[in-house]
Chain A
Amino acid sequence: MDPLLIESTEDTPHILLDPGQGKFMIAERSWMENAIEFYEPVVEWLEAYLNAPNPETIFEFHLEYFNTASAKQIAKILLTLEKYSSKTEITIKWHYDKHDMDMLTSGSRYAKLLNINYEFIEH
């Protein structure tokens, strides 16, 4: 499957989804005005990948900050991963800055509400 690469801008994140390299990552900042539109192709790509996934999928969130509109789309991505967790062993790596307790709180919220393996990585 072709990887999905989206370069970051001032208000949109860097996204790399590459099954060949086993890399799945959303990073930097996500505070665009229209998050639904932005994340739609990402969710579509994921759905297609999860039909024939790698045995293991390590999905990394390395965000500096994101708005609530993005929070909801991240929830959608995580739900999609959860739905297919019988087909691939999923691990979420949630990176956060040690000063940024809000980022840790956001990650813990998802971890609590979803049934996926969640790892927190402090920087």
Chain B
Amino acid sequence: MHAQDSHSKSDFIYRLFRDTSEDEINYIYQGQFSNSIVEQIMALAERNLEQTEESAKVKKRVYFIMIECLQNITRYQAEDAEQDEGQALFVLQMKRDKYHITTGNIIENGKVEPLREKLVKVNSLDDEQLKDYYREILTNGLLSEKGGAGLGLIEMARKSGNKLLFDFTPLNSTHSFFYYQAALHRESADPADKITPYSLKFVQEIHGKLSQANISMVLSTFFNQESLMSLMGILESQIRKAPQVKKKFFNILVEMLQNIIHHGASPAGKSNGRPGVFFVSEGPEVLELHSGNLVPASTRKALAGKLDLVNRSSLEELNELYNEKLFDFSSDQGKGAGLGILDMRIKSQQPLAYDLFNTDDTNHDFFTLRVDVKKN
């Protein structure tokens, strides 16, 4: 049962990787949104935007839309405090030609139609008309009882320069899940290139998978030390566990991702990091860290052999292996210490679950790894 579950997750990682490996970043978070989480999400976007050659104008618009979206989520949480854990969703995608920012939250069914009408109205207007509409609402004080009046929506439509994508998924007789997505063209993009509903469908599909598997965050990006720092910052506020659990979690996280940085493969022409996927899921007793990345097909056997050896060794044998390697400086050429896998195995005290997939490229295989950290 457990093995089956683990396999379906590695399958999920591989599909996610295939669908997002061309993108600079795909960051998905669902759960409670605290101020520090919002801050770290903004910092993540900032670090990534800094690396692009985007103009200050486009960057500002991305920030504006992100802040608006995140504030909507926190405002909603505050309003619906007595609601059962208002699981909200936030997705940031930086693709080659566009940025997509998606939010999702639960709303009462009674609010679905009025909101839909507002969105349809906003989408039917061009930029000039949006300006007039905005002014009209301001001067006439047509503020809805929620105080929003759709002013935020109008501003977002104007800043993004594209139609807003949205959808409502009924949950039960009283509530629905409301998704909406704003897309911005990058400066280098062809403005005639239209936004398709596919980009929202993709997010909805992933969201469904995340909820089923109890996954709270996913990051797919080019991993390097910089992105590892961003991830540490983000998880620092997202992982709400006892200090000793948190520390173990971070130790394993660093080893896992530095293994990708040191040993992962990168398709030709991409040198700013190793493409990979990382996510965290929570079981009743453990936090699971999952990673997926390309490895040279030539190293497949050695890698599997190493993991099998580590998995069948006793704690005593593992410690002996570790001590041997710790003081062996003969192989001190590479950046890694060759200790990462042993360290994760010892700290986790569980076998390391892994999978290897053939990819379309015969030179590269896809490697997934799962490491468990006990919550108690």
Q: Which of B247, B319, B337 contacts A102 (CB 8 A)?
A: B247
Stretch from A14-22, A30-38, A44-52 at the B interface? A30-38
B24 at the interface (CB under 8 A from A): no
Within 8 A of A (CB), among B316-354: 319, 322-323, 325-327, 329, 332, 335-337, 339-340, 342-343, 347
B125 at the interface (CB under 8 A from A): no
B71 at the interface (CB under 8 A from A): no
Interface size class of A (residues with CB under 8 A): 20 to 34
Within 8 A of B (CB), among A49-85: 65, 67-69, 71-72, 75-76, 79
B323 touches A68 (CB 8 A): no
B335 touches A36 (CB 8 A): yes
B335 touches A34 (CB 8 A): yes
B299 at the interface (CB under 8 A from A): no
Q: Within the complex, what minimum Cβ distance (angstroms) separates B254 from chain A?
A: 5
Across the interface, name the chain A residue whose C-beta is closest to B259.
A68
B242 at the interface (CB under 8 A from A): yes
> Which residues of chain B are near A34, meaning CB under 8 Å?
335
B242 touches A68 (CB 8 A): no
Q: Which of B250, B326, B343 contacts A75 (CB 8 A)?
A: B326
CB within 8 Å for A32 and B225 given contacts A75-B326, A79-B327: yes
A35 touches B337 (CB 8 A): yes
> Which residues of chain B are near A79, meaning CB under 8 Å?
327
A113 at the interface (CB under 8 A from B): yes
B254 touches A36 (CB 8 A): no
Q: Within the complex, what minimum Cβ distance (angstroms) separates A30 from chain B?
A: 10
B339 touches A72 (CB 8 A): yes
> Which residues of chain B are near A103, meaning CB under 8 Å?
247
Across the interface, name the chain A residue whose C-beta is closest to B224.
A33
A23-B306 Cα distance, complex, nearest whole Å: 42
Q: Within the complex, what minimum Cβ distance (angstroms) separates A23 from chain B?
A: 26
Within 8 A of A (CB), among B110-160: none
B335 touches A69 (CB 8 A): yes
A101-B374 Cα distance, complex, nearest whole Å: 14
Q: Within the complex, what minimum Cβ distance (angstroms) separates B321 from chain A?
A: 12
Q: Within the complex, what minimum Cβ distance (angstroms) separates B222 from chain A?
A: 14
Q: Which of A31, A69, A102, A113 contacts B336 (CB 8 A)?
A: A69
> Which residues of chain B are near A101, meaning CB under 8 Å?
244
A65 touches B251 (CB 8 A): yes
> Which residues of chain A are near B319, meaning CB under 8 Å?
109
Q: Within the complex, what minimum Cβ distance (angstroms) separates A32 from chain B?
A: 7
A36-B333 Cα distance, complex, nearest whole Å: 9
Within 8 A of B (CB), among A67-123: 67-69, 71-72, 75-76, 79, 97, 99-103, 109, 113
A102 touches B323 (CB 8 A): no
A97 touches B243 (CB 8 A): yes
Within 8 A of A (CB), among B38-68: none
B18 at the interface (CB under 8 A from A): no
B225 touches A68 (CB 8 A): no
CB within 8 Å for A11 and B229 given contacts A75-B326, A99-B247, A102-B251: yes
A35-B250 Cα distance, complex, nearest whole Å: 18
Q: Within the complex, what minimum Cβ distance (angstroms) separates A54 from chain B?
A: 26
B96 at the interface (CB under 8 A from A): no
Sample of 24 A–B contacts (CB below 8 Å): A11-B229, A31-B258, A32-B225, A33-B258, A33-B262, A36-B332, A65-B247, A65-B254, A67-B254, A68-B336, A69-B335, A69-B337, A71-B326, A72-B325, A72-B326, A75-B326, A75-B327, A97-B243, A102-B248, A102-B347, A103-B247, A109-B322, A109-B323, A113-B326
Query: Interface of B with A (CB < 8 Å)?
Result: 224-225, 229, 242-244, 247-248, 250-251, 254-255, 258, 261-262, 319, 322-323, 325-327, 329, 332, 335-337, 339-340, 342-343, 347
Other A-B contacts than A65-B254, A75-B327, 11 sampled, CB-CB below 8 A, are: A31-B258, A33-B225, A33-B262, A68-B343, A69-B335, A69-B336, A71-B337, A71-B343, A102-B247, A102-B251, A109-B326
Query: Interface of A with B (CB < 8 Å)?
Result: 10-11, 31-36, 65, 67-69, 71-72, 75-76, 79, 97, 99-103, 109, 113
